[in-house]
Structure 1
């Protein structure tokens, strides 16, 4: 008596595992216009009984993530703020093709067939890069820790693939994996100022007034103070001095108000101006006054004031 048994374990042993690195953008600058770019990696590891795996095909499909999103931008959210941080995931390093798939109406999936030759080689493992970008100029985003989760759930991540062995036995399979997208938005401020020009004057027998503007842009909900130092030659908010090349001086003061009753100095001396960031540019007028005084020799007089934003 003879018998013949066909083993079907070869087809069922052809399996692949999938995993991905987290996409951590670190600290991102939302005030500047520059984007923050980083890449991630999806690792595919396939095995087959007696090395009989001959082909793999299918797709890796990535959804919108827990923060939501669309083809223009996905969002990260923060438990401590009401704002969202816009970012996107891409298939290509040029960041022109959004990474998506069949379980999401936006973007394109990753075609596993393009990596089939690598997967049936000696290693059976391939790293597939993908690319992330946090968009710049998101001034209204409040400081905080932001995150979007891609869970082990077919809604977020779904791998539909098919393996075949050298005996042409094929099996359709599904898999999932998870990863997180993370970013940190810290308090930040930008500042610029126009010059304070008192113009051309004659005798200093009456006050001479002029103004300039300080422009401050701080992240939303960021408390800050604008301080002005005493210049190159001064000793206090109302004892600043412009100096000529011949070292003659003209005394002047800087104020927070048009009536020139509130002096403007440093935070340490309690003479700084306070504010709270909104993400938009906030302008502060500096009110300058050259006091009545003995008129020095004619010439060009100047001083340099350092503006300090403390936040």
Structure 2
């Protein structure tokens, strides 16, 4: 008789946290990123925008029910930090911005690779025959305030961008057989990874603002000699933006023959005067017609002041009283 023995040799069985990972997860951002429209740097205010991040997980037959996920947004092609980030136009023009999660004042989204906090969350298999789950988050973008020197190019709306590689914008995730095995931190070892397409875009618009102080000529009992006065225009235009300032003809509708007027008892009397670009009062400041000139320059993004030189020439003295005119200063850009 021959005896046969069946010997089963069993060694220790180790189940690594992610060894049975059969779920797959991916993330997308609506529109491919965040777009900031109508960014006006000389307004000095922050500009906000939002986008939606969708994360979807699919559980297979052997999938661990609990998944730890982290959305990483590292450095794009023009940033050196995540707070703030930088969009770029050309080789030197930059625009600072942030990307947050949770709220407009929430977590500044970062990456484990840059030692900044990614978006860290958990998803659990829904069960009941449902094997797919999607969770959405709002991404909050902010162009930082007080960047007046951000330039426009070619006197037109200028697009600033930052793009992210698949290594910089990515979803990492790892499954755990039991919820208690989930450490709550972003997975590094054994983690799966899925790229997230992401681009930040800003449309920077050109703009100018202008204000003026009144011009008050000195009082005089006669107009036998010329009277001089000045006023100031304060303006701010987008950096590098060419602009021109035109002054209207006032009540006379004639830039070469301006007149102040006074009406009393139905009778209107006038006083001739003129406005000039220069202290010598030789260059008439008008709208470019009739031989008049306009003030022209390029914006810097910062406030600038321009002096308007006025003169009442010697002339026959009219009826005493207060004479006035209203001039419209128009900035063209």
TM class by shorter chain equals 0.7 to 0.9
- Whether 2:126 is the aligned partner of 1:120: answer yes
48-57 or 217-226, larger mean C-alpha shift: 48-57
Out of 114, 136, 157, which is 2:169 matched to?
157
- Whether 2:309 is the aligned partner of 1:287: answer yes
Q: Secondary structure at the match of 1:66?
A: coil
Which residue pairs with 1:3 in the alignment?
Answer: none
Q: Secondary structure at the match of 1:128?
A: strand
**Contact 2:274–2:310 under 8 Å retained in 1:** yes
Which residue pairs with 1:226 in the alignment?
Answer: 245
Which residue pairs with 1:20 in the alignment?
Answer: 29
Q: Which has the larger radius of gyration?
A: 2
Distance 2:135 2:276 in 1: 65
Alignment of 1:78-89 (within 5 A): 78-79=89-90, 82-89=92-99
Q: Secondary structure at the match of 2:315?
A: coil
**Contact 1:31–1:219 under 8 Å retained in 2:** yes
Alignment of 1:17-56 (within 5 A): 17-21=26-30, 22-49=33-60, 54-56=65-67
Cα 1:46–1:268 change in 2 (3 A) is farther
Which residue pairs with 1:92 in the alignment?
Answer: 102
Distance 1:105 1:164 in 2: 24
Displacement of 1:134 after TM fit?
0.8
Cα 1:291–1:45 change in 2 (3 A) is same
Q: Secondary structure at the match of 1:235?
A: coil
Distance 1:203 1:223 in 2: 43
Displacement of 1:52 after TM fit?
6.2
Describe the superposition over 1:121-172 as per-residue Cα deviations: whole angstroms up to 9, x where unpaired. Answer: 756111111111112332211112100012212xx12322112468999974
Q: Secondary structure at the match of 2:199?
A: strand
Q: State the number of aligned residues.
A: 295
TM-score, normalised with respect to structure 1 = 0.86
Which residue pairs with 2:299 in the alignment?
Answer: 277
Distance 1:126 1:305 in 2: 60
Cα 1:97–1:236 change in 2 (3 A) is same
TM-score, normalised with respect to structure 2 = 0.80
For structure 1, list consecutive stretches of 5 or more residues without a partner in the other structure.
1-9
Displacement of 1:300 after TM fit?
2.0
Which residue pairs with 2:139 in the alignment?
Answer: 130
Q: Secondary structure at the match of 1:248?
A: strand
Q: RMSD in angstroms over aligned alpha carbons?
A: 2.7
**Contact 1:25–1:183 under 8 Å retained in 2:** yes
Cα 1:292–1:169 change in 2 (3 A) is closer
- Whether 2:326 is the aligned partner of 1:304: answer yes
Q: Secondary structure at the match of 2:252?
A: coil
Displacement of 1:11 after TM fit?
4.4
Out of 235, 243, 259, which is 2:280 matched to?
259
